[in-house]
Structure 1
């Protein structure tokens, strides 16, 4: 059992399930992880993220339109602080899974600030692009969920291996690009709106989308092995990480396409 999402590893559910089955005196946990529970907690995290994103949008939209340098500086600082808070919350959630009920909402709120800021800057440059990206992200999520639940797509071991390998390759490319950026160098073509840049973004969007299938499968397996209740928050957190990645990659793809016109 393997997931492309590093937040949803096999050991995350199996070790938690073992701990739940062996409570005080070897008594099993009274309640365990359910699909409905994961759905509800994912909705809570999603709404928390959208709430802070909407606040950032409406608080700074006028400042960007008027090129208010002071307000833009505040927004830039808020995004940087939120990035740090989100990273810390993600790391704590990963290593202290039973804290996910607190740290996952903190991550969602922080990422809302980041998403809201990035989306606002992009919208001012390409009007209407954010709505397109949101609708495409939700559409991809709905289609893949339907395909998974109906059995049209099955997370076989070969499928999982392919997605995990592709995800790792993309992560490596991004890490190398970030490292080269400090020396004033960028990997050619992948950031541009040309044919190769668009093809690269299409591939990344496809891999991000396929990670959702692995996440659905992994969450289902977590329910089957009897993971404890707090793992619902952890699973919802992992799913949100994938959704954020998918949205940002779709937004990036649309920017490349719109930039060519």
Structure 2
């Protein structure tokens, strides 16, 4: 089973030593538990995002130096905690909430920056993100979209290609070279952002399928936190991409 989300891989719910799930029935992962923990992670992220937002915008509406600090620090801290969580899944009951708190600082700061340039864009991005979440969940639960192996492979390949393109763009930026397709507000740039949003949305379907499979296999209880963390990673990505897409549209 594949997932485009790097936090969720085939071995996530399995005992790597025996290839089988190790949790006892009374200590197994549940769907309700995962949903509750996802809600808690979102709440933690919203709390720190609200704080970072308040610190990033001055009374006159201009950006403060703290905004950049929270954006950069939150991004780096979130990446470190995400990597720790991926490689130490048993730590997820601690690292997943920490990730949500730190990532909230990043989201609050960049949201304030986008809002300062494009008033109203954050509300639109939030609605688009959670609207997409609900739509993908309904499509998955009703069977309109099925996470077949070919579907998973296609989304995984598209996600990897996007990640590679972003990495190349980041490296080239040190040499003063920008990839127009990523940052340009022309039709090509908008089309690229639409493509990325679609891929991020399809990753939600894979995440739902992956979590459901973990529940069916009786994964260990701590995997509720890990499953919530994986879903949180996709939602953060989707939200940021909606901000980028909407900002390109408003620039035209």
TM over 0.5, yes or no? yes
Matches within 5 A, 1:172-251: 172-251=164-243
Q: Report what 2:45 is aligned to.
A: 49
1:39-94 CA-to-partner distances (Å, cap 9, x unmatched) read 00000000000110111122332357145xxxx22232232222222122111111
Check conservation: 1:64, 1:121, Cα contact below 8 A. no
Q: Report what 1:117 is aligned to.
A: 109
1:29–1:186 CA distance, 2 compared to 1 (3 A): same
1:174–1:66 CA distance, 2 compared to 1 (3 A): closer
Q: Report what 1:156 is aligned to.
A: 148
Q: Report what 2:33 is aligned to.
A: 37
Question: Does 1:105 find its partner at 2:101?
Answer: no
Matches within 5 A, 1:69-84: 72-84=64-76
CA distance in 1, matches of 2:234, 2:74: 18
Q: Report what 1:94 is aligned to.
A: 86
Q: SS of the counterpart of 1:116?
A: helix
CA distance in 2, matches of 1:119, 1:245: 13
1:11-45 CA-to-partner distances (Å, cap 9, x unmatched) read 01122784624xxxxxx463200110110000000
CA distance in 2, matches of 1:64, 1:85: 29
Which structure has more helix as a fraction of its residues?
1
1:75–1:31 CA distance, 2 compared to 1 (3 A): same
Q: Report what 2:4 is aligned to.
A: 4
Q: Report what 1:165 is aligned to.
A: 157
Among 232, 245, 255, the alignment partner of 2:247 is 255
Runs of 5+ consecutive residues of structure 1 not aligned to the other structure: 22-27
Q: Report what 1:59 is aligned to.
A: 55
Q: SS of the counterpart of 1:10?
A: coil
Q: Aligned pairs, how many? A: 250
TM-score (norm 2): 0.95
CA distance in 1, matches of 2:251, 2:124: 15
1:229–1:182 CA distance, 2 compared to 1 (3 A): same
CA distance in 1, matches of 2:241, 2:128: 11
Question: Does 1:132 find its partner at 2:124?
Answer: yes
Query: Could you tell which deviates more after superposition, 88-97 or 235-244?
Result: 88-97
